[in-house]
Structure 1
Amino acid sequence: MVKAIIFDVDGTILDTEQAILQSLQRTLLEETDQQYSLEDLRFALGIPGKDTLMRLNIDNIDEVHRKWSAAVLDFSHEVTVFENLEEVIQQLAAKSPLLGIVTSKTAEEVTDEFDPFGLSHYFKHIVSASDTEKHKPHPEPLLKCLDALQVAPEDAIYIGDSIYDFQCAKQAGAKFALALWGAKTTNGFEEADYVLYEAQDILSL
């Protein structure tokens, strides 16, 4: 029996791809004088910002991360809730499964970039990158959320769009549902428990 449905945010609830990549591209150009293509930066989708900057060998990570977080807000007009997801979340919240969020956003980024959409109150518990020492694909964030909800991993489904989400769910012992509207491909997700083609598919879980 499914007792909890946990959501990722970026690429799952919010279509943030362009805002994340364009703001990162601009910040790196300002800080390093290097012009990265958006394709070069796609690896940043689904992992914490500081992990991204570490992989890019940025020296002053904390400072650059602050500038990137500020730059994301300049692209907020690019961010939308995926089609029909708000209505689906409302319907789920009215049913019995507990709803949670496990995101690679920091607590500040959740406040600045997610809360304005007015969806946060539907979720009983939110785990951000500020809440754990280890981050996706490590299972710690998902296990922390499930512990707060008092739900066993085998009774939960984690919905995400990245390989990091998939690995996090599998290592935690939870089921994984691929949000195809964000992932855009099933390659690498052959072992996903569910493939969701549109938001309404969540209701069939």
Structure 2
Amino acid sequence: MTIFSKPQAVLFDLDGTLVDTAPDFARVLNTLRQDHQKDELAYEMIRSQVSNGARALTTLAFGDADTNPDFDTHLSALLERYLEGLAEESCLFSGLDTTLASLQENHIAWGIVTNKPSRYTLPLLKGLKLEHGCAVVICPDDVTHRKPHPEPILKACAAIGADPAQSVYVGDHARDIESGRRAGCFTIAAGWGYLNDGETIESWQADLDCATPAALNHWLNQQLLR
């Protein structure tokens, strides 16, 4: 798929794509493990599971729900502690401040389509002072079907009056690319995100693979010169 003019909108996944939330998740998860007399987990081990969600992180730290009768208790504790400090160490990935500034300067709407519930998404954006520049935020509680279904991306495009076929979706997970493709968007795989061990972005078959935010910025600049 090719965009023949500058995009009408650029939409981002949140965790692992736009914002590096792994430091706060790692801090909270290891604090919980310490409370249960367990050793800290390596940061990279936690980082690789962040895009898979809180259940995956709880499984990593305490075992899955089938083998741990206290799974739901651990999951609730993780989410509550995360909510208390979700913007302490999280930040935009380096270089994406340039991306957002360029989009705004060129009057291209940008927004967020995430599987992170609004209970956590909105305070995070406020804590990072991103809420005012963001044209639309779609969370799973805003839709009937979450990604990889196309509904969240289609709803975001409709909210800002953008044609999905002239819009971009950037994500760091296979489900992001599937969702964007099914919505009819130009899809970009974010290679700087939270990939599982042994996973490659090439296997997702996005329209464009970007190993770094700098590569994304280069592509965007080329589009703006058309």
Structure 1 residue aligned with 2:145: 134
Q: Structure 1 residues 46 and 120 mapped into 2: Cα distance closer, same or farther (>3 Å)?
A: same
Structure 2 residue aligned with 1:187: 200
* Most deviating of 156-165 and 133-142: 133-142
1:52-63, aligned counterparts within 5 Å? 56-57=64-65
1:13 paired with 2:18, answer: yes
The Cα offsets for residues 42-73 of structure 1, whole Å up to 9 and x where unpaired, read as 67433454687699427788765543233224
Q: TM-score, normalised by structure 2?
A: 0.72
Q: Structure 1 residues 63 and 76 mapped into 2: Cα distance closer, same or farther (>3 Å)?
A: same
2:168 to 157, 161, 166: 157
Q: Structure 1 residues 162 and 25 mapped into 2: Cα distance closer, same or farther (>3 Å)?
A: farther
- Amino acid in structure 1 at the alignment position of 2:200: N
2:78 to 68, 78, 83: 68
- Amino acid in structure 2 at the alignment position of 1:144: K
Q: Structure 1 residues 62 and 156 mapped into 2: Cα distance closer, same or farther (>3 Å)?
A: farther
CA contact (8 A) 2:48 2:194 kept: no
Secondary structure of 1:108's counterpart equals helix
Secondary structure of 2:192's counterpart equals helix
In 2: Cα distance, 1:149 partner to 1:9 partner: 18
Secondary structure of 1:100's counterpart equals strand
The Cα offsets for residues 108-151 of structure 1, whole Å up to 9 and x where unpaired, read as 21222222111121121110122123212222211111121222
In 2: Cα distance, 1:177 partner to 1:71 partner: 32
- Amino acid in structure 2 at the alignment position of 1:171: R
1:104 to 115, 125, 132: 115
Q: Which runs of 5+ in 1 are unaligned?
A: none
In 2: Cα distance, 1:67 partner to 1:30 partner: 11
Q: Which runs of 5+ in 2 are unaligned?
A: none
Q: TM-score, normalised by structure 1?
A: 0.78
Secondary structure of 2:202's counterpart equals coil
In 2: Cα distance, 1:79 partner to 1:4 partner: 25
2:213 to 183, 198, 203: 198
Secondary structure of 1:136's counterpart equals coil
TM-aligned CA deviation for residue 10 of structure 1: 0.9
In 2: Cα distance, 1:129 partner to 1:68 partner: 19
In 1: Cα distance, 2:32 partner to 2:188 partner: 33
Q: Structure 1 residues 188 and 148 mapped into 2: Cα distance closer, same or farther (>3 Å)?
A: same
CA contact (8 A) 1:47 1:136 kept: no
Please give the root-mean-square deviation of Cα atoms over the aligned residues, in Å: 3.3
Secondary structure of 1:120's counterpart equals coil
Structure 1 residue aligned with 2:189: 178
Asked which structure has the greater CA Rg, the reply is 2
